[in-house]
Amino acid sequence: MSTVAGLELSVLLAVARLGEEAYGLAVRRDVGDRMERDYSVGAIYTTLERLQEKGLINSRQAPPTPTRGGRSRRQFRLTAKGEKAIREARDRVASQWTGILQPLKAELG
């Protein structure tokens, strides 16, 4: 089992959400927008490397593009192990919320 939380989970979810557009700066933008925080490029790339070392994502060099001056960019893709880690993280959070909504409704009502 690969437990992910915090920034690792946010980056993993961004890679899943972005699909073919999951490259470093797009992941940074997605995570920053959703978390309402500006993460450094280094923090995102370090997290992507850590996720790759855990086998949750893999990467490949995309073909060079004219918009990047003929340079290629590194695209990231979720692995089956990464999909499983996302499901497990979702289930852990859901179990933490069990029994919470009823008491909150009673207090607010």
Structure tokens at 45: 């790339």
CATH 3.30.70.141, domain 6-108, yes or no: no
The domain limits of the chain are 6-108
Q: What is the pLDDT of residue 103?
A: 64
Q: Please provide the average confidence, as pLDDT, over all residues in the chain.
A: 89
Give this prediction's pTM: 0.83
d(CA 41, CA 13): 17
d(CA 42, CA 44): 5
Q: What is the pLDDT of residue 47?
A: 98
